[in-house]
């Protein structure tokens, strides 16, 4: 059986660096909240973002696509489009096509958006100041997070991750039994780990979802580390 292909893995290296910023998740949430989107509409917004990144559609088609896919009226569609253009797509302009003229057309301030994204994505706007290679994992990084992005894109790698998630669940259970972790907290962590295992096992994850999983894992690992007795 052939391994599933991840279309995001075919993107240029610089695009992958932009997409792998953990801050993207916070930006997405802020855009959803400021535009009053429901959870379903938030998922639909992510679908629109994917279409732009994978060049299924052009930035100039954004307003019309939002109106069709998310079912927003003209004013709300334009506001959401402006937020996406300025806060998500501007640092991708070199790859996806012209964005700044569209921001102008929608009444946005390009200079303000540029000031924000230049801080978040120095590799795009100040490449000489940014690392030219991705730093290798430190010795202190948990094995579960090492090469996570690469492993989650193959069946073999997913199997390794699932085994480690099972082991992590056992650690949570042991911490609860040893009264190092409150039962309610342990139950929440177990539910999160179960949800992660299901996602890894059943979905072709994109960079947004992978970053979300990694952030949740870091939180759980940090909580478990805090409960461990001093050695």
Q: Which is nearest to 210 in space by CA: 171, 157, 167? A: 157
pLDDT of residue 134 exceeding 50: no
CA distance 119 to 79: 23
When pLDDT is cut at 50, 70 and 90, the band that residue 130 belongs to is very low
The pLDDT value recorded for residue 39 is: 86
What average pLDDT is seen over the chain? 82
**What is the value of pTM for the model shown?**
0.58
pLDDT tens digit sequence for 76-101:
999 999 999 999 999 999 999 999 99
Would you say 49 and 69 are in contact if contact means Cβ atoms under 8 Å apart? no
The C-alpha atoms of residue 115 and residue 128 are separated, in whole angstroms, by 18
pLDDT tens-digit map of 160-214: 888 788 877 878 888 888 888 888 888 888 888 888 888 888 777 777 788 888 8
pLDDT of residue 67: 95
């Amino acid at each position: 059986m052939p391994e599933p292909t991840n279309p995001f893995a075919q993107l240029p290296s610089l695009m992958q660096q932009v997409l792998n910023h953990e801050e993207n998740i916070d930006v997405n949430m802020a855009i959803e909240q400021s535009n009053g989107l429901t959870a379903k509409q938030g998922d639909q917004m992510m679908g629109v973002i994917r279409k732009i990144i994978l060049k299924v559609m052009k930035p100039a088609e954004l307003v019309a696509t939002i109106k069709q896919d998310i079912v927003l009226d003209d004013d709300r569609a334009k506001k959401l489009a402006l937020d996406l253009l300025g806060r998500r797509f501007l640092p991708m302009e070199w790859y996806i096509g012209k964005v700044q003229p569209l921001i102008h057309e929608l009444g946005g301030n390009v200079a303000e958006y540029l000031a924000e994204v230049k801080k978040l994505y120095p590799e795009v706007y100040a490449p000489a100041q940014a690392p030219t290679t991705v730093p290798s994992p430190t010795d202190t990084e948990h094995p579960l997070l090492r090469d996570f992005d690469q492993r989650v894109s193959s069946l073999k790698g997913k199997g390794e991750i699932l085994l480690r998630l099972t082991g992590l669940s056992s650690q949570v259970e042991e911490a609860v039994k040893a009264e190092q972790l409150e039962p309610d907290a342990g139950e929440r962590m177990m539910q999160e780990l179960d949800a992660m295992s299901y996602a890894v096992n059943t979905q072709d994850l994109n960079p947004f979802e992978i970053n979300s999983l990694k952030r949740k894992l870091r939180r759980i690992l940090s909580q478990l580390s805090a409960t461990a007795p001093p050695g």
